[in-house]
């Protein structure tokens, strides 16, 4: 239990700086969520800690905690999230986190440094030039790790090509490079084939089934018992995820449906998307139904994955295999054609964001970073996840951009593999649940127009989906030809899914055998 008392002390005594432009309401909410998330203890114990540490605290009433005192502090500000019957999740991760932390052995690293080489150090340390919800969240996480393990998390900014070259030199000289590396998913195969990353399954204590790792990233990390990269809440940059931005004014002319409620009820489907798109023609004026810009080159992939499909599958024991057939894929290809060739689609992919910002387009399918561009536009907009194929589909799924999504890997010459395994897990455990909330809250403070969109952003982050074919196509192009190209080409009128599976399916099997062994 002492581990958790120290975590509370860290939070209560941390020197939290709030800049003038930061919404104070967000910090208060984050503080309460952090306390609720890591441990629920009676108010009397909090007061005892207060007396022992001489730190100031804000007491929050938590009546759901058994035996909690009715005492509370009234705060004269509204929380940034407005409670509603369909827009609020129950975000109590405390039990899971307590269990996760028990998996990590106690250790004292003597005040040393834990180095992560990455092309995006802001995902490790936050943006040190500004005080934002997300940056403070990362700072609090790193402070906890430093307090608990007596080690400082640090980051080295290095682009993937330079990292690749430096690691090869380090391996040749059998010298230390970094405790962890973060590389784009589409580089994973190149690093693996060159021997620049080790099999994570060989690390002591590494748990591939842990809930704090993205399950699809584990499946996409390799095959035949080999996992060369893994992602989690500490590595996924939400900016690399796609969303459906919608014009609220145009939507109100088309339907009385509450589209946010559709999402929450699991009823947001591509049929609904097309129904609304078709209705644009009934609005007086020159309006468009759908636009794509940054996502235009891989919109087929986004729709395919959002429909609950996968390009490849792997159970971790056997070799990866193609996860679709012509029979299962053909209906999705027809759906893609309906979206891409919609009669009211905005066809200039270089100016689709501008057209949406001007209020001329109902839907814009683009990555989440687009909200920074359109934050001050005249269009009153909201955010939704990519639709499901049917309401019965289990969950919303959002394909990550393989060029921007990062995975964690370990260099073979790492000095202490146990330390790397411990900190890889700990980074993702402490970020679990909390970092997606921090991103959504920061988006609400600076970019979003309504509280409901913040909940949608969190839904999108939690739906992040990886697929092996993007990590290893750089090594064998037949992997791409037999998977995502087998969907893209027919969606644009070139041959059929059946043709590409018959022509290149065998080459896929050969490629994965070469990569991971028979």
Helix, strand, coil percent values for the chain (each to nearest 5): 45, 10, 40
User: Can you read off the two tokens belonging to residue 293?
Assistant: 């810009």
Question: CA 130 to CA 115: how far, in whole Å?
Answer: 22
Return the DSSP state at 349: T
Coil, helix or strand for 393? coil
The per-residue pLDDT for 82 is: 37
Q: What does the pLDDT read at residue 132?
A: 79
Q: How far apart are CA 464 and CA 386, in angstroms?
A: 11
Q: Are 467 and 312 in contact (CB under 8 A)?
A: yes
Task: Give pTM, 2 decimals.
Answer: 0.82
Tokens of 353: 């964001």
Q: Bridge-partner residues for 183, per DSSP?
A: 407
- Whole-number pLDDT of residue 425: 95
Tracing tokens 């012509």 back to the chain, one arrives at 326
Residue 111, by phi and psi: left (phi above 0), alpha (psi -120 to 50) or beta? Answer: left
Element (H, E) at 242: strand 242-247
Here the tokens at position 492 are 């644009």
Of 193, 516, 251, residue with least CA distance to 384: 251
Instruction: For the chain, give the number of residues.
Output: 518
Q: 408: left (phi > 0), else alpha (psi -120 to 50), else beta? A: beta
Does residue 322 contact residue 505 with C-beta atoms inside 8 Å?
yes
93: its two tokens:
């991760």
pLDDT at 486: 97
pLDDT value for 119: 96
Q: Which of 410, 406, 517, 475 is nearest to 171 (CA)?
A: 410
**Which residue, chain included where needed, has tokens 């056997």?**
318
> Is 395:309 a contact under the CB 8 Å cutoff?
no
- Spell out the per-residue pLDDT of the chain, length 518, in tens: 434 444 443 344 333 333 333 333 333 334 444 444 444 334 333 333 333 333 332 222 333 333 333 333 332 333 333 333 323 333 456 677 788 888 888 889 999 999 999 999 999 997 767 667 888 888 889 999 999 899 999 999 999 999 999 999 999 999 999 999 999 999 999 999 999 999 999 999 999 999 999 999 999 999 999 999 999 999 988 999 999 999 999 999 999 999 999 999 999 999 999 999 999 999 999 999 999 999 999 999 999 999 999 999 998 789 999 999 999 999 999 999 999 999 999 999 999 999 999 999 999 999 999 999 999 999 999 999 999 999 999 999 999 998 899 999 999 999 999 999 999 999 999 888 788 888 999 999 999 999 999 999 999 999 999 999 999 998 888 999 999 999 999 999 999 999 999 999 999 999 999 999 87
- The reported pLDDT for the residue numbered 93 is 63
Q: Which two tokens stand for residue 20?
A: 């003038």
Q: Which of 241, 236, 239 is nearest to 408 (CA)?
A: 236
Predicted pLDDT at 337: 98
The candidate with the shortest Cα–Cα distance to 13, out of 44, 52, 66, 45, is: 52
Query: What does the alpha-carbon distance between residue 495 and residue 475 come to, in Å, rounded to a whole number?
Result: 25
In contact, 156 and 121? CB cutoff 8 Å: yes
Q: How many CB atoms lie within 10 A of CB 195?
A: 12
CA angle 422, 182, 508 (to 5 degrees): 105
If you ran DSSP here, which 8-state letter would residue 390 be given?
S
Residue in the structure block whose two tokens are 């599976």: 501
333 touches 487 (CB < 8 A): yes
Q: How far apart, in whole angstroms, are the C-alpha atoms of residue 42 and residue 67? A: 7
């Amino acid at each position: 239990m002492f581990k958790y008392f120290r975590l509370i002390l860290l939070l209560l005594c941390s020197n939290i700086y709030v800049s003038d432009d930061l919404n104070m309401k967000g910090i208060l909410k984050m503080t309460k969520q952090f306390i609720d998330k890591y441990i629920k203890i009676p108010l009397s114990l909090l007061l005892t800690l207060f007396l022992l540490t001489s730190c100031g605290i804000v007491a929050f009433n938590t009546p759901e905690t058994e035996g909690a005192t009715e005492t509370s502090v009234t705060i004269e500000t509204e929380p940034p999230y407005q409670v509603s019957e369909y827009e609020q999740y129950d975000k109590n991760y405390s039990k899971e986190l307590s269990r996760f932390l028990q998996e990590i052995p106690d250790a004292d690293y003597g005040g040393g440094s834990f180095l992560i080489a990455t092309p995006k150090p802001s995902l490790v340390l936050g943006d040190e030039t500004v005080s934002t919800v997300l940056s403070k969240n990362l700072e609090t996480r790193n402070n906890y790790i430093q307090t608990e393990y007596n080690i400082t998390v640090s980051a080295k900014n290095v682009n993937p090509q330079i990292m690749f070259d430096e690691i090869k030199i380090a391996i040749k000289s059998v010298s230390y490079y970094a405790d962890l590396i973060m590389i784009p998913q589409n580089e994973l195969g190149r690093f693996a084939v060159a021997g620049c990353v080790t099999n994570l399954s060989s690390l002591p204590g590494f748990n591939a089934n842990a809930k704090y790792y993205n399950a699809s990233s584990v499946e996409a990390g390799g095959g035949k018992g080999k996992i060369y990269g893994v992602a989690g809440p500490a590595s996924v940059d939400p900016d690399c995820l796609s969303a459906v931005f919608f014009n609220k004014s145009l939507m109100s002319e088309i339907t009385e449906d509450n589209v946010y409620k559709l999402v929450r009820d699991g009823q947001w489907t591509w049929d609904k998307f097309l129904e609304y798109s078709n209705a644009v023609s009934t609005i007086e004026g020159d309006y468009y139904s759908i636009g794509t810009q940054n996502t235009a080159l891989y919109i087929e992939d986004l729709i395919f994955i959002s429909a609950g499909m996968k390009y490849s599958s792997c159970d971790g024991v056997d070799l990866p295999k193609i996860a679709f057939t012509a029979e299962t894929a053909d209906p999705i290809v027809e759906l893609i054609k309906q979206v891409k060739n919609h009669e009211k689609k905005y066809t200039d992919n270089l100016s689709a964001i501008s057209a949406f910002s001007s209020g001329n387009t109902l839907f814009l399918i683009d990555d989440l970073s687009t909200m920074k561009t359109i934050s001050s536009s005249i269009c009153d907009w909201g955010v939704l996840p990519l639709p499901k194929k049917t309401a019965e589909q289990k969950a919303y799924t959002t394909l990550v951009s393989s060029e921007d999504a990062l995975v964690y890997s370990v260099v073979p010459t790492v000095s202490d593999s146990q330390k790397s395994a411990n900190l890889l897990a700990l980074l993702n455990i402490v970020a679990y649940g909390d970092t997606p909330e921090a991103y959504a809250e920061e988006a609400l403070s600076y970019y979003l127009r309504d509280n409901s969109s913040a909940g949608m952003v969190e839904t999108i982050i939690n739906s992040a989906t990886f697929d092996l074919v993007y990590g290893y196509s750089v090594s064998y192009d037949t992997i791409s030809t037999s998977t995502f190209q087998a969907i893209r080409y027919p969606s644009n009128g070139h041959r059929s899914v059946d043709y590409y599976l018959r022509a290149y399916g065998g080459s896929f099997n050969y490629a994965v055998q070469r990569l991971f062994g028979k």
